[in-house]
Amino acid sequence: MNEKIKKNSFLTNQIQVSLKINAKNRSLTLDSRTSLLDALREHLELNGTKKGCDHGQCGACTVIMNGKRQLSCLTLAATCEGANVLTIEGLAKKDKMHPMQGAFVKHDGFQCGYCTPGQICSAVALLQEAKDGDASYVTADVRNISKELKLSEEEIRERLSGNICRCGAYNNIVQAFKEVHSADDEMPTWKFATKMQMKSAKRK
């Protein structure tokens, strides 16, 4: 490698990658060892995707790549040439949240927020997996599986088990997913302050 480049850019094994991230074309010069996660966080200022373990074991770094859930910490950026990556920052349309984000608010699907971007990306991609009829570990009969799966609670819990939430918000994450997946109006066990109550408080 050219000695001058090495000194100036602090890069050994320099590579070039072009990919689409949140609908924008990005071109990056990276150390060849750089993971997609580090490329997002350290080179693109997309800090929403989190590093929980860097070993592919916690799910915090989940992004959606070419429509599928992907652990960005186990994905070398070098392998992402031409890929289409969607991160938590790309889910909301301006101020309008993705329905899954809205459901996480309604069902209080998180506490500290650190695993949340991964949980949401995972849940959003899972909606598509169910539509596509992808099987899981707990699918009863993998030879007879239809498209447009209606996932049972057991299926949802299994399919979201790759994302650890140490705050233990699983109840509410599952409820949020159910709401978007089944389009049912799942009710939390608590009652929110009503609009009237909020309004009357505001009038004071």
Partner 1 sequence: MGEFIGKSVKRREDARFLKGMGKYTDDIKLPKMTHSAFVRSPYAHAKIENVDISEAEKADGVVAIFTGKDACGEYGVPCGWQVDFKNGETMREPKHPLLAKDKIRHLGEAVTIVIAETLEQARDAAELVEVDYEELPAVTDPKKAMEEGAPLVHDDWDSNAAFDWCIGNDRAEVEAALEKAHHVTEMEYRNQRLAPNAMEPRSYIADYDVNGDKYTLYTSTQNPHLIRLLMCAFVLGLPEHKVRIVSKDVGGGFGSKIYHYTEEALLTWAAKEIGRPVKWTSDRSEAFLTDAHGRDHVVKSRMGFDKDGKIVAHLTDEYCGMGAYLSTFAPAVPTYLHGTLFQGVYTTPLIHLNVIAPFTHTVPVDAYRGAGRPEATYLLERIISKGAQEMGMDAAEIRYKNFIPPFDGVEEAGYQTQVALQYDSGNYEAALKKGLERLGYDDFRKEQSEARKNGRLLGVGISTYIEGCGIAPSAVVGALGARAGLYEVGQVRVQPTGKVSVFTGAHSHGQGHETVFAQFVADKLGIDMADVEIEHGDTDQVAFGMGTYGSRSLAVGGSAIIKSIDKILEKGAKIAAHKLEAAEDDLEYASGKWTVKGTDKSVSFGDVALTAYVPHNYPEGLEPGLDFSSFYDPSNFTYPFGTHIAVVEVDADTGAVELQRFIAVDDVGNIMNPMIVEGQIHGGVAQGVGQALLEEVAYDEAGQMITGSYMDYAMPRADDLPMIETENTVTPCPHNPLGVKGAGEAGAIGSTPAVVNAVVDALAHLGVTDIQMPLKPQTVWKAMQN
Nearest-approach distance from CB 135 to partner 1, in angstroms = 16
Q: How many binding residues for partner 1 (CB under 8 A)?
A: 72
Which C-beta is closer to partner 1: that of 156 or that of 180? 156
Of residues 82 through 101, those in contact with partner 1 by CB under 8 A are 87-89, 91-92, 97, 101
The C-alpha atoms of residue 193 and residue 204 are separated, in whole angstroms, by 16
Q: Are 138 and 119 in contact (CB under 8 A)?
A: no
- Taking CB under 8 A as the rule, does residue 180 contact partner 1? no
- Taking CB under 8 A as the rule, does residue 75 contact partner 1? no
Of residues 28 through 47, those in contact with partner 1 by CB under 8 A are 31, 33, 41-42, 46-47
- Taking CB under 8 A as the rule, does residue 165 contact partner 1? yes
Q: Are 83 and 89 in contact (CB under 8 A)?
A: no
Q: Are 50 and 60 in contact (CB under 8 A)?
A: yes
Q: Are 110 and 169 in contact (CB under 8 A)?
A: yes
Nearest-approach distance from CB 72 to partner 1, in angstroms = 13
- Taking CB under 8 A as the rule, does residue 14 contact partner 1? no
Nearest-approach distance from CB 141 to partner 1, in angstroms = 19
Residues 6+ apart with CB under 8 A from 122: 59, 62, 69, 160, 162, 163
The C-alpha atoms of residue 128 and residue 101 are separated, in whole angstroms, by 16
Of residues 104 through 163, those in contact with partner 1 by CB under 8 A are 104-106, 108, 110-117, 120, 153-154, 156-158, 160-163
Which C-beta is closer to partner 1: that of 84 or that of 111? 111
Among 20, 28, 44, 54, binds partner 1 (CB under 8 A): 54
CA dihedral 103, 107, 111, 115 (to 10 degrees): -40
Residue 76 DSSP symbol: B
- Taking CB under 8 A as the rule, does residue 188 contact partner 1? yes
Which C-beta is closer to partner 1: that of 17 or that of 174? 174
Q: Are 77 and 38 in contact (CB under 8 A)?
A: yes
Which C-beta is closer to partner 1: that of 33 or that of 131? 33
